[in-house]
Each structure stands twice: as C-alpha cells, then as structure tokens.
Amino acid sequence: MKYPKLFEPANIGSMTLKNRIVLSPLHANFTVCDKYTDRFVKYYEERAKGGAGLIITAHIKAEKDIDPYPKTFGYPIFDSAAEIKYFTDLTETVHKYGTKIAIELSPGTGRIADEPLPDKRPVGPSEIPLLTMPDVKTRELTKDEIKQLVKSYGKAAGLAKAAGFDAIYVHFLAYLGDQFLSSCWNHRQDEYGGSLENRMRFLLECIESVRANVGDDFPLIVGIALDHGFAGGRELEETIEIAKRLEPLNIGALHLRRGSYDAMSLLIPTPYVKDGIAVDYAYEVKKAVNIPIIVDGKLPNAAYCEKLLEEGKTDFVGIARQFVTDPYWPKKAKAGKEDDILPCIRCVQCINRVFFSKSSACSVNPQFGREFEGPLPKTKEPKQVLVAGAGPAGMTVAKFLAERGHSVILAEKSGELGGHLIEAAVPAYKKETAAYLRWLKKQVEENPNVDIRLNTEVTPEFVSSVRPDAVVVCTGSAPYVPAVPGIDRSNVKLATNLLVNYKDEEVGDKIVIVGAGLVGCETALFLKEQGKKDITLVDMLPEVAQDVIYLARLSLLEKLQEEQINSRTGLKLKEIIPEGIIVENEKGETQTINADTVIIATGLTSDNKLYENLKDETEEIYAIGDCISPRKFIDAVQEAYAIAKII
C-alpha cells in the first residue's frame, strides 16, 4: 500500500476513522428551500465511495429566529425533529462505505449577514459593520438572546446525534462564533466581552450545551482560525492560548485554518499562495496541546500529506477542492495511480459561484454536482464525431464522447494538444494547471475511441472527405492585436507566445505589458519568476485584473503588490516606438512610457470562421468554448460535457 501513514486508521475521540483523510467543509449551495436534497446526498456519497475517512458537512445552522442570515446561501437549519429524516438519508448513505460524518454546526452568522430584512436587523456580539455592507451594522445581542442561541445550539447537536452523525463540528471560524472570540469584533462590556476568558464564554457555553444533549463521550471537533490575516485581527499566539483552554474539555480534534472572509487568500488559497499555507501555524498549536489536529489549506497531493503526517506536523489532513475535482483521489493514491487523479487548478470557481448565489460548479470536473444524474450513459447509436480543435473544450468533449461509445476524430491544426492551456500552465505557480493539462492529454491519448490528428486543419473540404455524423467546433480564440503604429516592431511580443517560447535574451530589463487582465497579470508574475524586476502593467480600464473572478482577483492583486509590479491605468495605447509606448489618458493627453520590451496582452478574439462556414452545410454541428466568445476554462468544460451528453 502506498502512503501507509495517510491510510492508517486513527481516532478522533471515541470515533475511529479508516484513514486520516478528512473532507473539509465546502458549501456547494445544492440545497432547496434550505434543505439537503438528493443532489447534495449524492455529492457526499461519491466522496465516501471514493475513500474519505471523515466527511465534515457544509455549514448547518442551529436556529433561524434570532439570526436568520444569510438568506442567499441556502444553509440548512436543524432546529426541529422534523429535519431528522433529511439528515438521516445523508448519514445512512455515507455509512455504507465505512466513512464517518460530522455535522458542521454553526450558532449564527453575525456580520456575514446578507440582504438585511426590513424588520430583522442582523445581530452580532457587538455593533459592528457587515462584511459586504459596511454601512449596515449589526445589533448587539442581549444576554437573553445569547442564552437562547446556546440552548438552540445544544438542541441541534442532540438532533444531529439522533440523525446518525458521528461527531459535532463546533463551527467557530469566521461566523458569529469567531466574532465572539475576537477582540476586533467583540467590543462587549459584560461577561461575554473584554478578556479572552470572557470572549471564550460563548464557545464554552455552546460546548457545555452540546455535552448536555449528546453526552460526554460523543466526539467534538472545534473549528477555529489560526489567525485572521489582517491588521487588528487575531494572531497565532492568542489562538494557541484558546487551544490550551480547550484542552481540558475532552475535545476530539481541532480543525485549523488560516484567514477569514477579510483575508480570503488565506482561507481559500489560490495559485498565487504557497502550498500548505496553514501548516507551520497549525504545528505551533499542535506542539502546545495534546489535542489531535486537522490542518487545512492547499495541501497539493498525497505525497505532501504523507510527509506532513510522517513528520508529525499534523494528525489528519483536511481537503475540500481536490474532492470536488476527483472524489476518488484517495483510492487512486492508495493504489499508486496518481497520474489518474484529476487535479484541482485552484481557480476557486466552485466557491466564487456560491458567493454569487449560484450552485457550485467545477472548471475541470463537469460531473461535480451532477452525481445524482448517475454515470454518463452509453450511447445506443454510436456515431463518428469530428472535433475541430484540441484545447480544453475539444479534449473534454472528445473524452466524454469516447466514453459514451462514439468514435472521435480529434483534429488540431497545431502540432500540440492543449490550446490556451499550454501557455496558462507555463508559470511555476500554475503547476496545478500544468498537471491538469497532462491529465487531459492522457485521457484522449489513451482512449482507443479517439483518433488524434495533429497538424490537421479542419476545413469544409476536410469535413467532406471525412463525412462525420456530427461535428463539434472548438476552434477557440486568438490573441487580439491592436492596430496601432509600431505594432510589428522587433521589441514587441505577444504574451501568449512569450509564455511558451520565453528566451531571456529577447526580453529587456525594462518591460511594459499592455493589457492588465488575467493574461497580462500572470505574464508579469511569470517574468518576475525569470528575474525581471522592472515591469509595468498598462491598461485603458480604471483598475487591473478586471476580468478575473472576485475571489481570485483579491489574491492576484495581493501577489502583484507583493512582487512590486507597477501598474498604470486609464491609459490607451496609441503607438509603439523604439523607446517604449505612447499612451493617451482620458483627457486626450499623451505621454511616453519607456520600455525595452513591449508585451501585448490585450485579450482574445473568437475564431468562429469554421463554424460559420459549416453551419448551413452540416446537419449536426455544435460550437463550444472560446469560438463562441472568449471566456474561462469552466465555460469550455461545462459546454463540452453538455454537448457530449446529447450527441
């Protein structure tokens, strides 16, 4: 067996797990009317089947009367025996595979409230601004209300035990519980505020209430932040003290993460954040107490997790997004089949979508969230399908069409599979994207139903010669090149070409990148990796990285600042000269920005010529991905899966 430490049985209190792999909480927003549906149950079932030792559910609230928020995320509420049947379906399903399950139970939301109701002001430990609406402040909870929250919390824990949960996860990170613990948010003047002893009172009373309803031996896991990641927030030293004060309370484990919703790049790490962002901090807690710990935060693979366990840095590994991309990664890792694991590219689309009130979805695994649909059905009428273009859309649709039993010709006019994934995977910090590209190529190269034809441009004549039953056009997009004087000078490089064919001697020391979207910003970070120091991003928009999704953008901006990459916004490119570029501001004033090398990253333009030429001549034809309009990987992959299902 590979990774013996990772796959050895271990205990959290009286609960024995078959391995040390924990599915960390990740809310996918698959609820309906704030209840777990079959969609959510099947999502968890697939992860249990895939080898998770312990599943921690997403956020579940203990009550809705005092703190009814948030209203848009669909968090279930476990406040009555009527809810037991919904949760029993979940626990019984998970238990079939020898996996244990803990309920992430929250006492409230506090300043993370959304869309305030006109007659129900959000509440908190103190009067503090809401995270997303700082002009709105919470109302300070009364002591009677706190007592009611504590009582409701214990009652919900008792109901959870009755529903078959194996442990209670006491959720005191980011939400109301954390706000009571932390002096940056808790400004109370009574016994629930001030000293650490007072600020911990709400947590200790919640634990006491849980014990009164589940018994002294029932496993409890406490989830807390190692630090908040912003000035004035809690630091590691105080978290260590909190852990010490929890030690006498028979806590089964501590689940430790860095960050808060005010420091999202620590809480939900992106490609721009180092691996194991919380490991060293969590280890300091582990050295201070005898409570087993679960560490979370960008643990890249099984080998990394095994090393952490061997070195005694943690007792369990908490992983969420790798379970999104590949629910079977534990079984594959245990069998030594790591190359078959579909890697997470850290794009944070799964979580970003939930923040904007959508169901979660994955950029690389279109079957995530569709587990309730069952396996992809085999076709009853096998066809020969021509797929034109082998970028992420083309390779994905070819993979799924072949799995359904169709015969696929995957034609790519260049000499390499990958499309824009090729340049996206170049920077060292995008190693997960590089792993995804390798995985996707493996899927089509090793499938006997896929006939790969490189250096083959699909034309109407080629289609006539092949005579396929169906055509899927995935011709993608090409870099947009602005028509300005000097664009063809020798000091001008296209960002997409530069990433793939980088040569240090062809790039000067003073660099200007025209276009500060995702490609421009990531090219700047790549050039920093190569040792370039003087890099300036220039864009006509008022801010950089405007095309980057919300959660990733915050992290990217932090990384650009950390790497001291300059930016000049509100400037339109007018001309490229030997000394650099001439730009124009909104007032029509021109200026020169000096540069040895000018890099163009002004976006992409769709290549839909083939589709336009074929659409009236081909009976069954589809277009997916960037040839419709330049977008994200998630759009290409999701569209590819949808088309593969209907052909």
- Tell me how far apart the alpha carbons of residues 95 and 119 are, in angstroms, rounded to a whole number: 42
DSSP 60-113: EES-SSS----SSS---B--SGGGHHHHHHHHHHHHTTT-EEEEEEES--GGG-
Residue 44 annotated to the active site: no
- Tell me how far apart the alpha carbons of residues 75 and 78 are, in angstroms, rounded to a whole number: 10
Q: Which helix (H) or strand (E) holds 222?
A: strand 220-225
Q: Are 387 and 409 in contact (CB under 8 A)?
A: yes
Q: Are 295 and 256 in contact (CB under 8 A)?
A: yes
Q: Which residues contact 241 (CB under 8 A, 6 or more apart)?
A: 196
Q: Which residues contact 464 (CB under 8 A, 6 or more apart)?
A: none
- Tell me how far apart the alpha carbons of residues 158 and 149 are, in angstroms, rounded to a whole number: 14
Q: Is 275 helix (H, G, I), strand (E, B) or coil?
A: coil
Relative to beta strand 100-106, strand 407-412 is: unpaired
For residue 321, what are its two tokens?
């997004």
Q: For residue 196, which of 180, 174, 177, 173 has the smallest C-alpha distance?
A: 180
- Tell me how far apart the alpha carbons of residues 73 and 27 are, in angstroms, rounded to a whole number: 8
For residue 478, what are its two tokens?
């090409």
- Tell me how far apart the alpha carbons of residues 62 and 276 are, in angstroms, rounded to a whole number: 32
Q: Are 405 and 378 in contact (CB under 8 A)?
A: yes
- Tell me how far apart the alpha carbons of residues 537 and 559 are, in angstroms, rounded to a whole number: 14
Task: Give a three-class secondary structure readout of 235-266.
Answer: CHHHHHHHHHHHHHHCCCEEEEECCECCEHHH
CA dihedral 111, 114, 118, 124 (to 10 degrees): -10
Q: For residue 345, which of 441, 432, 434, 440 has the smallest C-alpha distance?
A: 432
Q: Which residues contact 341 (CB under 8 A, 6 or more apart)?
A: 301, 322, 326, 329, 332, 333, 439
What is the value of pTM for the model shown?
Answer: 0.96
Give the per-residue pLDDT at 1.
84
Q: Which residues contact 321 (CB under 8 A, 6 or more apart)?
A: 26, 344, 346, 350
- Tell me how far apart the alpha carbons of residues 553 and 490 are, in angstroms, rounded to a whole number: 32
Return the bridge partners of 492, or none. Answer: 598
- Tell me how far apart the alpha carbons of residues 170 and 243 are, in angstroms, rounded to a whole number: 13
pLDDT in tens, 534-551: 999 999 999 999 999 988
Residues of the chain under the 50 pLDDT cut: none
- Tell me how far apart the alpha carbons of residues 242 and 254 are, in angstroms, rounded to a whole number: 11
Give the per-residue pLDDT at 115.
84
Q: For residue 204, which of 150, 282, 275, 252 has the smallest C-alpha distance?
A: 150
- Tell me how far apart the alpha carbons of residues 359 and 43 are, in angstroms, rounded to a whole number: 13
Catalytic member of 3, 44, 175, 328:
175
- Tell me how far apart the alpha carbons of residues 130 and 124 are, in angstroms, rounded to a whole number: 9
Q: Which residues contact 189 (CB under 8 A, 6 or more apart)?
A: none
